[in-house]
Amino acid sequence: MKHLLKALIILPSVVFSQSPEDILGKAIQYHDPNEKWNTLETTLHFTETRPDGSERKALIYLNNLNGSMKINRNDEEAYEVKGDESFVIKGEYDEARGLRLRNYYLYLWGLPMKLLDEGTPKIEEVEDESIDGEATKVLRVAYEKDTWYFNFDKQTGRMLQYRFYKDEAAGKGELITLEDEIMVNGIKIPQKRSWYTLPEMKYLGTDILSRIE
């Protein structure tokens, strides 16, 4: 009986660590609880501002079910992308730029769900960080050309910011902070993204998901 009582006293103090899969799973549960991302079809309207006061409008038609996207930026360049094929609708750029823009919008605005993509490198948990007094769990993903760090609220799983390094040893990269959320077909997508250089913390601009259709 004494041994049993001792076990009952000790057991509650045991701390169970979370795996990277657990942390990402919690984030997905927060942002896309009904697993709508892979079948999402919507039109997204962006306002992209820069430090000099300039502003660009971007319209993205997205259909994740058939892997297609239409991109129009300021009505100066436009593309249609189907799978890995890109077609220039308007502008002086080539098809490769259409694919780059597809990857840019799809990855950044599809996080954290995009971390579930096949071919994503090993996801690792690193030391916890505090952001404005909020405790966050941090996941690290080392791609071929850059290394990314993602911060998730420790309690809710909400994605709060991410950063990437082109030269991690020198601390050269960019930080993207996230504010507000907009509901897109049941998915909570961060609405406002502000960009800064690392390590200088020079402000680069803000991208806002202004409305959806």
DSSP string, 65-83: TTTEEEEEETTTEEEEEET
| Reported confidence tier of residue 134, pLDDT bands at 50, 70, 90 | confident
Residue 101 forms part of a structural domain: yes
Residue 98 domain-assigned (yes or no): yes
Count: domains in the chain: 1
Look at residue 61 and tell me whether its pLDDT is greater than 70: yes
pLDDT at 86: 94
Cβ distance 155 to 137 under 8 Å?
Answer: no
194: in domain: yes
Going by C-beta distance under 8 Å and a sequence separation of 6 or more, which residues neighbour residue 17?
A: none
Per-residue confidence band for 6, with pLDDT thresholds at 50, 70 and 90? very low
Whether residue 4 lies inside any domain: the answer is no
- Encoded tokens for 180: 């507000």
**How would residue 17 be classed by pLDDT, with cut points 50, 70 and 90?**
low
CATH code of the domain in which 145 resides: 2.50.20.10
Is 12 within the bounds of a domain? no
Q: How far, in Å, CA of 198 to CA of 186, rounded?
A: 33
> Which long-range contacts link 34-37 to residues 24+ away (Cβ below 8 Å)?
34/186, 36/185, 36/186, 36/187, 37/64, 37/110, 37/113, 37/187
In a domain, 5, yes or no: no
In this prediction the pTM is: 0.87
More confident residue, 55 or 3: 55
Cβ(107)–Cβ(189) below 8 Å: no
Residues 6+ apart with CB under 8 A from 3: none
pLDDT digit string, tens, across residues 198-212: 999 999 999 999 999
Interatomic CA distance for residues 73 and 102, integer angstroms: 12
Query: Hey, is 144 helix, strand or coil?
Result: coil
Tell me whether residue 126 is in a domain.
yes
Strand partners, 109: none
Q: What CA–CA distances, in Å, run from 93 to 18, 90, 96, 98, 124?
A: 46, 8, 8, 8, 37
| Nearest residue to 23 (alpha-carbon basis) of 13, 11, 31, 35 | 31
Domain membership of residue 147 (yes or no) is: yes
Domain region containing 184: 18-212
